[in-house]
């Protein structure tokens, strides 16, 4: 069996991240269907050309994610309901703004080196040590702020981000045009929270008011994280819409 993606020792992405991405692709394609046992460690070492330490690190993290399950004395299995042919779920954050003809704008608020206090930097733990850039933008509708968009991007992924005009610009398009190239995978997580005092000031709302929070991680070749964005909106301004499509 040939791995779905090659393990590239020249890329900055760590080997275990590349193995994780390859396993995910095998599960998503149905090659390793839910409930099936994946090859043992020795076979995986030969399959990907890496050490047992790398395989164990990748499998351990995938088990923590819930994609795989280790069974003592039996091996490692794909969790039931994890990927495979059937239905895929597509999601989008759809804006709920009444009325027609409302002008939508994106305004750059802050751009600086990212620090440990920025929660989005956690997405890059375990990745090569590149300088990270923090970008805060505010989306407005009809002149009223409706969404805070905080992004952290490694500077080598898109050097132009340090100086490029970002008002009404597509961050995704800039990333695609950068050295990192095509975005291969995206993961989004949604949660309900509350506005901090700083967020409330920007959105002109009450501190502690309910908020819809979304995290979006973008991955490039070899499974390397190339951007992490945190979206914050007042509850009631956005709705979470789910679409199902048979694949």
Predicted pLDDT of residue 118: 83
Q: Render pLDDT for 71-96 as a digit per residue (tens, 0 to 9).
A: 888 899 998 655 444 444 444 444 44
Q: Flag whether pLDDT at 103 surpasses 90.
A: no
Q: pLDDT over 90 for what percent of the chain?
A: 28
Q: How confident is the model at residue 44 (pLDDT cuts 50, 70, 90)?
A: very high
The end-to-end CA distance of the chain, in Å, is 23
Question: Averaged over 3-8, what is the pLDDT?
Answer: 56
Rounded CA separation 104/143 (Å):
8
Question: Averaged over 96-109, what is the pLDDT?
Answer: 66
Using alpha carbons, select from 97, 95, 66, 99 the residue that is nearest to residue 83.
66
Across 72-224, the runs of DSSP E, i.e. the strands, are: 75-78, 87-95, 104-113, 132-141, 144-154, 185-194, 210-219
Q: How confident is the model at residue 15 (pLDDT cuts 50, 70, 90)?
A: confident
Which residue intervals of the chain are DSSP H helices? 15-29, 41-48, 52-65, 171-177, 197-203
| Domains annotated on the chain, with CATH | 15-85 (1.10.10.10), 89-246 (3.40.1410.10)
Give pTM, 2 decimals.
0.60
Predicted pLDDT of residue 64: 80
Question: Averaged over 164-186, what is the pLDDT?
Answer: 81
Using alpha carbons, select from 194, 98, 205, 195 the residue that is nearest to residue 141.
98
CA 130 to chain centre: 18
């Amino acid at each position: 069996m040939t791995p779905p993606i090659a393990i590239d020792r020249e890329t900055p992405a760590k080997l275990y991240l590349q193995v994780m991405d390859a396993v995910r692709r095998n599960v998503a394609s149905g090659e390793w269907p839910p409930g099936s046992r994946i090859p043992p460690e020795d076979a995986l070492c030969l399959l990907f050309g890496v050490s047992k330490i790398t395989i164990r690190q990748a499998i351990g993290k995938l088990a923590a994610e819930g994609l795989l399950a280790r069974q003592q004395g039996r091996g490692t299995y794909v969790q039931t309901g994890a990927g495979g042919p059937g239905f895929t779920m597509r999601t989008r954050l759809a804006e709920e703004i009444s009325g027609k003809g409302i002008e939508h704008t994106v305004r750059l608020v802050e751009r600086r080196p990212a620090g440990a206090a920025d929660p989005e930097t956690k997405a890059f733990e375990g990745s090569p040590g590149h300088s990270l850039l923090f970008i805060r933008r505010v989306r407005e509708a009809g002149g009223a702020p409706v969404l805070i968009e905080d992004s952290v991007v490694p500077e080598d992924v898109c050097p132009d981000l340090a100086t490029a005009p970002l008002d009404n610009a597509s961050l995704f398009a800039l990333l695609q045009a950068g050295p990192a190239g095509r975005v291969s995978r995206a993961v989004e997580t949604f949660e309900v929270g509350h506005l901090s005092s700083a967020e409330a000031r920007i959105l002109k709302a009450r501190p502690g008011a309910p908020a819809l929070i979304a995290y979006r991680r973008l991955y490039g070749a070899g499974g390397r994280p190339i951007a992490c964005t945190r979206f914050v909106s007042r509850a009631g301004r956005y709705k979470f819409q789910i679409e199902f499509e048979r694949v």
